[in-house]
Amino acid sequence: GSGNHLKYTLFGDVVNTASRMESTSIPNRVQCTRETADLIREQAPNMIEVERRGETEVKGKGKLETFFVNPPKDGFGDDWGGDGGPGFLI
């Protein structure tokens, strides 16, 4: 049987913003919005560092303050995705 499986659909602004963060970032860096940076600082203050990138022109949104998510200094090991894989998702 198929059992009960939850399904989630993301659409609209959240998907557009994620796409823009990816397309305006630089290779091998994870870029996020101020809102996400604030959540990271609140929920993982000693584990994950966010670095202010500055204002980034984002299609359909204008200039947004953006941040880079830096790999944790300790505790994640190879799970971060240092091999180019997606070991950590925001």
List Cα–Cα distances, 78 to 4, 28, 33, 75, in angstroms. Answer: 33, 15, 25, 9
pLDDT above 80 for 79: no
Composition of the chain by helix, strand, coil, percent to 5: 30, 25, 45
Token reading at 34: 């101020």
Model pTM score: 0.69
Instruction: Given the residues 52, 59, 61, 73, select the one marked as catalytic.
Output: 59
8-58 per-position pLDDT tens digit: 676 788 888 999 999 999 999 999 999 999 999 999 888 899 999 999 999
Instruction: Go through the chain and tell me how many residues it has.
Output: 90
Q: How far is CA 52 from CA 8, 17, 24, 46, 84, in A?
A: 31, 17, 14, 17, 22
Asked if 73 is an active-site residue, the reply is no
| Residue 72 confidence (pLDDT) | 78
Cα dihedral 81, 84, 85, 88 in deg (nearest 10): 40
User: Is 59 a known active-site residue?
Assistant: yes
